[in-house]
Amino acid sequence: MLTNTEQRLAAIREWLANNNIDALLVPHEDEYLGEYVPAHNERLHWLTGFTGSAGAAVITQDKAAIFVDGRYTVQVTKQVPADLFEYRHLIEEPALDWIKDTLESGASVAIDPRMHNSAWLDIAQAKLASSLELKILDSNPIDELWHDRPAPVVSDVRLMATEAVGQSSDSKRQEIAQLVKKAGADSAVITALDSICWLLNVRGLDVSRLPVLLSHAILHSDSTVEYFLDPARLPTEFDTHVGAGVTVHHPEALQARLETLTGKKVLVDPTTSNAWFKLVLQNAGASVVSKADPCLMPKAAKNSVEIAGMKACHIRDGVAMSKFLCWLDAEVVAGNLHDEATLADKLEAFRSEDPTLMDLSFDTISAAGGNAAMCHYNHENQPEPGQLELNTLYLVDSGGQYLDGTTDITRTIAIGQPSQEMIKQFTLALKGHIGVARARFPKGTRGYQIDTLARQHLWAEGYDYDHGTGHGVGHFLSVHEGPASISKKQIDVPLTEGMVLSNEPGYYRADAFGIRIENLELVVETPTNGDFPVLSFESLTRCPIDKRNINVDMLTRPELAWLNDYHQKVWDEISPLVESEVKEWLRQATLPLAHS
């Protein structure tokens, strides 16, 4: 009997033959191009069995290959049959290169333009033009073949009152409309789900870990908006909530409405919008203006109400984290060395005591011992979760989606007595974390200019980490929010007042241990005695950093002062909110350190 994967591969090959096409490219992305793909759009998983968050597959009549990055080189071998698919590295050998090398000149490759952004399509057309034919599909063959496809999640539409978000939708629409005009456009297609929800002050739970609604919007330069969501989903108060100027259309009307923009200049973000939008607009005679989503920068710079919410939810999140870490220490002392799944579930249970928790902000990374050396490890993708062992480190990276904000925190915890090497590496990472937290910088500074502060102490010893230092975080929206970041990538976006970014240097030793220390930081303006004010970071996260992992004598006096001051803030804000057992644990965890 054929396996599901064999049957599905055969069905795709039959489709290729019937349509006289030589290859089909299937990316992990869906039509919304978001970080998280809802279950009913997991087309790559349906075809291959692969559950990772990044990847692609190419199917020909006699070959098939799956492309994953370094995070998933082990996982893919466990989930995708080697006798059916070649394993390829997504970065070192992109799918387009494999296609060029595998197919004969003149062969055809089919793509669904909804699964790729327009920037990618431009690259693909240029790369394949001389040797292969790129066929743009009107419909996706997997959608036709996926007979047991789960129904989309249809969540309640939550209207976010102006008092909860600090700015009315009408005010936001007028602000963004001015940016659309400034960009030389008559209209803008808004496709990023968090941008749409921010613009209309709505939230939902259509996608796991992301409090959004699967929808699209067209914003015109007169500040009117066409919103594409099943009208039956909207509460009766929606019209009053958003104010005049918002019309609601069924999603099936999207193409027809786009085709009315003939002769108009339409802004489309080439990285966040799928290529189908550009193709439809061009075919309708519209002029496409390829510029960034105009909501990105205003959304990233939190207003005073959003900042107050972020601070409040971080205190409550700190209570949950402190309860969990107190419980974990007691369990280790009692000899109960739990597995990673149990630990993740226990932490979620503590967070769930807060009625404002709507969801986790991402799947918890619960990594014991050597598993933590994989910086995006997920115990749910393993044959069985790892187990705590004495004299190792446990890394937990987690967060919550609360009604008043989004959290993301990583703590690396001593299980028993960490080795001197673990302590050294932890302290080097901590010095980098403190370097970012204490940074002062002029307006206009980019994240890549800050990144060196996080890495300098590791670099000095010949070490580094293979991920960014910081990403933006939304207000009860995406835990990975653009456009700013702190990383080696030279992203030309200034850090501005009100942005919230993570600060998460780390160190990873393969098969041995992994370290990451992550707080969220608010960009604030700081007065100076000089000619102009500067920007700096205010730490939002409230949870102890494990002192058992620190070599205090490696810290400078300013670094030690920062750590003790941070722990004093944790004590002051968390201790009144926890019961006596946790309070005593917290007292010990936040006692000041001193040089020997």
Q: Supply angle C-alpha 578, 504, 487, rounded to 5.
A: 155
Contact between residue 11 and residue 24 where contact means Cβ atoms under 8 Å apart: no
pLDDT at 543 over 70: yes
**Which pair of tokens denotes residue 46?**
């349906």
Residue that terminates a domain, selected from 291, 320, 344:
291
pLDDT of residue 399: 98
What DSSP character marks residue 37?
Answer: -
User: What whole-number distance in Å separates Cα of residue 591 and Cα of residue 219?
Assistant: 53
Residues 306 and 418 grouped into a single domain:
yes
pLDDT at 35 over 80: yes
Pairing between β-strand 440-441 and β-strand 400-402 as defined by DSSP bridges:
unpaired
Contact between residue 33 and residue 191 where contact means Cβ atoms under 8 Å apart: yes
Which strands sit side by side in the sheet containing 365-368, from one edge to the other?
Answer: 365-368, 392-398, 409-415
Residue that terminates a domain, selected from 270, 291, 312:
291
pLDDT of residue 582: 98
Q: Does residue 522 lie in a domain region?
A: yes
Residues 320 and 245 grouped into a single domain:
no
Q: Which domain holds residue 185?
A: 158-291
Pairing between β-strand 519-526 and β-strand 506-509 as defined by DSSP bridges:
unpaired
Contact between residue 567 and residue 592 where contact means Cβ atoms under 8 Å apart: yes
Residues 383 and 495 grouped into a single domain:
yes
Residues 370 and 471 grouped into a single domain:
yes
Mean pLDDT of 41-52: 95
Count the domains in the chain. Answer: 3
Q: Does residue 153 lie in a domain region?
A: no
Mean pLDDT of 569-573: 98
Residues 448 and 398 grouped into a single domain:
yes
Mean pLDDT of 347-353: 98
Contact between residue 165 and residue 173 where contact means Cβ atoms under 8 Å apart: no
3-state secondary structure at position 462: coil
Residues 285 and 310 grouped into a single domain:
no
Burial annotation 102-114 (CB, 10 A radius, 16+ → b, else e): bbeeebbbbbbbb
pLDDT at 69 over 90: no
pLDDT of residue 129: 87
Q: Supply angle C-alpha 125, 190, 268, rounded to 5.
A: 35
Residues 18 and 107 grouped into a single domain:
yes
Total count of residues recorded for the chain:
596
Q: Dihedral of the CA atoms 6, 12, 15, 21 (nearest 10)?
A: -130
pLDDT of residue 530: 87
pLDDT of residue 381: 77
Query: 2 exposed, middle or buried (CB, 10 Å; 0-12, 13-18, 19+)?
Result: exposed
Mean pLDDT of 55-82: 92
Asked which of 88-102, 405-419, 566-580 is least confident by mean pLDDT, the reply is: 88-102
pLDDT at 141 over 70: yes
Mean pLDDT of 93-102: 94
pLDDT of residue 241: 98
pLDDT of residue 1: 65
What pTM was estimated for this model as a whole? Answer: 0.96
pLDDT at 2 over 80: no
Residue 497 one-letter amino acid: E
User: What whole-number distance in Å separates Cα of residue 517 and Cα of residue 151?
Assistant: 39
Residues 413 and 277 grouped into a single domain:
no
pLDDT at 104 over 90: yes
Residues 111 and 163 grouped into a single domain:
no
pLDDT at 380 over 90: no
User: What whole-number distance in Å separates Cα of residue 471 and Cα of residue 263?
Assistant: 38
pLDDT of residue 130: 87
Q: Does residue 37 lie in a domain region?
A: yes
pLDDT of residue 383: 79
Q: Does residue 245 lie in a domain region?
A: yes
- Local confidence band at 197 (pLDDT 50, 70, 90 cut-offs): very high
Q: Does residue 596 lie in a domain region?
A: no
Query: 39 exposed, middle or buried (CB, 10 Å; 0-12, 13-18, 19+)?
Result: middle
Q: Does residue 250 lie in a domain region?
A: yes
Contact between residue 381 and residue 364 where contact means Cβ atoms under 8 Å apart: no
Residues 79 and 184 grouped into a single domain:
no
Q: Does residue 524 lie in a domain region?
A: yes
Residues 380 and 497 grouped into a single domain:
yes
The CATH number linked to 115 is 3.40.350.10
pLDDT of residue 532: 86
When the pLDDT of each residue in the chain is averaged and rounded to a whole number, the result is 96
pLDDT of residue 3: 84
**Alpha-helical segments (H) within 361-514:** 420-437, 447-460
Residues 66 and 117 grouped into a single domain:
yes
pLDDT, tens only, 388-444: 999 999 999 999 999 999 999 999 999 999 999 999 999 999 999 999 999 999 999
Q: Does residue 76 lie in a domain region?
A: yes
pLDDT of residue 73: 83
pLDDT, tens only, 237-271: 999 999 999 999 999 999 999 999 999 999 999 99
Residue that terminates a domain, selected from 232, 261, 291:
291
User: What whole-number distance in Å separates Cα of residue 173 and Cα of residue 161?
Assistant: 16
Contact between residue 57 and residue 75 where contact means Cβ atoms under 8 Å apart: no
Place of tokens 């722990």: 567
Rounded percentage of the chain residues whose pLDDT exceeds 90: 93
- Local confidence band at 533 (pLDDT 50, 70, 90 cut-offs): confident
Rounded percentage of the chain residues whose pLDDT exceeds 70: 100
User: What whole-number distance in Å separates Cα of residue 584 and Cα of residue 18?
Assistant: 70
The CATH number linked to 362 is 3.90.230.10
